[in-house]
Chain A
Amino acid sequence: MPVLIFIDHADRQIKKSSLEALTYGADLAAATGSHAEGLILGTVNDDLPSLGKYGIKKVHTVSNENLNHLDAQVYIKVIAEAVQQSGAATIIFSGNLTGKAVAPGLSVKLKAGLVTGVVGLPDTSNGFTVKRTVFSGKAFAHVNILTAVKIISINPNSYSIKETGGSAEINALNITADAPKVKVTATNKITGTVPLSEAELVISGGRGLKGPENWGLVEDLAKLIGAATACSRAVADADWRPHHEHVGQTGLAIAPNLYFAIGISGAIQHLAGVNRSKVIVVVNKDPEAPFFKAADYGIVGDAFEVMPKMIEAVRKLKGA
């Protein structure tokens, strides 16, 4: 029975978080003596057979204009049908925005146990136990899935993409899709910047930067290394920066490879949004700032003196 991975896309391009899910599904299949297959709803520009390089044998497709925008209930019915046709016993989602909207409903439809926020492959030595984050990244829970069909939703940026080689067979499924009841009337994308939720590198500023006029320090460094920009809650609340840049407990929770915090003290609510980052760098003039306890690298110093020199050094490194 195959492992089936839901492949999500935006602007006709497969999301990076779905490539992580593909690698996860292929690794899970290899570990359990099964094979992995993908499922795509709607239309993408990517070359589908080449998805075989992430370790999957087959890509099932369902093309229907009713699937062009997300209506969770419409998607769930189609995915449930695809699960049945493919005979899959384990379904993998990326816990991105689509995964969050769809995976729980599929769990209901299939009466299949769901674990979200997963950060590692299941332990099948005694049942089927999956490790997931809880308490906003401050702890892990090891959760047993008690049903025959299982659904796993993995945290974005918690599983590294691997490319091997190979080509996937394409199989167009004949499944009808209901007309959506959630009708999308407008889309408003912030263009020209890296979306924060998908960013591998993030430069973030806090109240220590004293005002929006000083954000050049954040933006210059971000531009040099191709990072997204973020901010603390105090900064978003003061309207120095747009609300979609707010990371923390009540804002966005992110897990980039680098989180570089300038002038942010690191209150526990802020840490809850960034503590899954792989490397945390803190620049703060207060040596007692709690953020230093969660950081990997730090400079105790005035951001207005440190950052220009830092940016100069990065410029030299990048040869720009």
Chain B
Amino acid sequence: MKILVCISKTPDTTAKIAFTDNNTKFASDGVQWILNPYDEWYALVKALEIKEKDPSTSIHLINVGAADNEPIIRKALALGGDEAFRINVESQDSFYIATQIAEKAKAVGYDIIFTGKETIDYNGSSIGAMVAALLDLPFVSLATSFTLNGTTATINREIEGGEETAEVQLPVVVSCQKGMAEARIPNMRGIMAARTKPLTVSEPAAAEALTSIASFSLPPAKAGVKLVPADQPEELVRLLHEEAKVI
């Protein structure tokens, strides 16, 4: 079994969001970078669980980004990825990134491609679906569980107000969310092993971006909270009814 896990670097969930260069660039000074939580906790750990059941499985990681992405790639190797690819280019739009991943996947050939449901910076939720379309493979989005039986995968996915179960023959592309697996912490042995695992850097395939970010902006600051005394909850009810008009 060959699995490809797509991983991204994102600012830490508590990072301050600000912009520089006339609001065209994310202000990265002092920002702590992490492995995108959905890629790490759900996509990668699910791949590890599959490998634990079938040790012949190999887990490849792919990241589209510059050399400063390597710490998060090494972290994913420390968690248990076998081998990593970094496509050496500053990521542009989703279509551009998906094209890079699809080119690599086409060259190697995978049974399963996992992505997180979205990155916590751009929240595009697009890469998995685009890779599937580029490779003409079945795609299951927002999966909450994944079990293998030979070459058939049984996958639960979120629907409005519930879940549905689907069966699909491999190969398949799956975007992963909460429920798929439980977060893990890399151990010392993994961290040591990660130093010598192969990380191959290659130049990007020819591709174009279909969109470009012109600028960023921040939402207007909240006017401030209107506090109601604790012994007058009926006043809050009145405000919600007459002023905010929500109840």
> A: which residues have CB within 8 A of B?
10, 15, 69, 71-73, 76, 95-97, 100-109, 111-117, 129, 133-147, 181-190, 193, 195-198, 201, 225, 243, 246, 249-251, 257-258, 268-269, 272, 278-279, 281-282, 292-302, 305-307, 309-310, 313-314, 316-317
Contact = CB atoms under 8 A, between A and B. Distances in A.
B113 to A, nearest CB: 14
A314 B240 CA distance: 10
A100 B125 contact: yes
Given A190-B161, A250-B178, A310-B233, 13 more contacts: A100-B142, A106-B133, A113-B93, A114-B94, A134-B123, A145-B210, A147-B210, A195-B161, A268-B14, A269-B13, A296-B222, A296-B223, A309-B233
B244 interface: yes
B17 A249 contact: no
B185 interface: no
Contacts of A201: 246-247
Nearest to B169: A181
A140 B217 contact: yes
A58 B125 CA distance: 30
Contacts of B222: 293-296
B188 interface: no
B65 interface: no
B132 to A, nearest CB: 6
B111 interface: no
A311 to B, nearest CB: 9
21 contacts: A73-B136, A97-B160, A101-B139, A104-B133, A108-B130, A113-B211, A135-B11, A135-B17, A137-B219, A139-B17, A140-B218, A141-B122, A146-B212, A183-B168, A184-B166, A185-B166, A188-B165, A299-B227, A300-B230, A313-B234, A317-B241
Nearest to A275: B219
Given A104-B129, A134-B122, A300-B230, A140 B244 contact: no
Contacts of B237: 310, 313-314, 317
A41 B140 CA distance: 19
What's the dominant secondary structure at chain A's contact region? mixed
B120 A107 contact: no
A305 B230 contact: yes
Q: Sorted from nearest, which 8 A-B pairs have the closest CB atoms? A: A301-B230, A195-B161, A113-B210, A105-B133, A104-B129, A189-B162, A313-B234, A108-B133
Contact of B165 (A141, A185, A302): A185
Contacts of B20: none
Nearest to B243: A297
B180 to A, nearest CB: 12
B108 interface: no
A310 B227 contact: no
Q: How large is the interface on B (under 10, 10 to 19, 20 to 34, 35 or more residues)?
A: 35 or more
A140 B240 contact: no
Contacts of B122: 134, 141
Given A139-B17, A139-B216, A299 B123 contact: no
A188 B140 CA distance: 17
A278 B246 contact: yes
A250 B199 CA distance: 29
Contacts of B228: 297-299
B139 to A, nearest CB: 4
B98 to A, nearest CB: 7
Contact of A112 (B37, B38, B179, B210): B210
B124 A116 contact: yes
B90 interface: no
Nearest to B226: A297
B164 interface: yes
Interface string B123-149: 111111110111011111110000000
B217 A184 contact: no
A222 to B, nearest CB: 11
Interface in B1-54: 11, 13-14, 17, 19, 37-38, 41
B236 interface: yes
Contacts of B212: 143-144, 146
A229 to B, nearest CB: 13
A117 B124 contact: yes
Contacts of A257: 246
B107 interface: no
Interface in B71-87: none
A15 B160 contact: yes
A296 B226 contact: yes
B214 interface: yes
Given A197-B160, A251-B178, A306-B233, A134 B166 contact: no
Contacts of A313: 233-234, 236-237
A294 B224 CA distance: 8
Contacts of B158: 97
Nearest to B102: A108
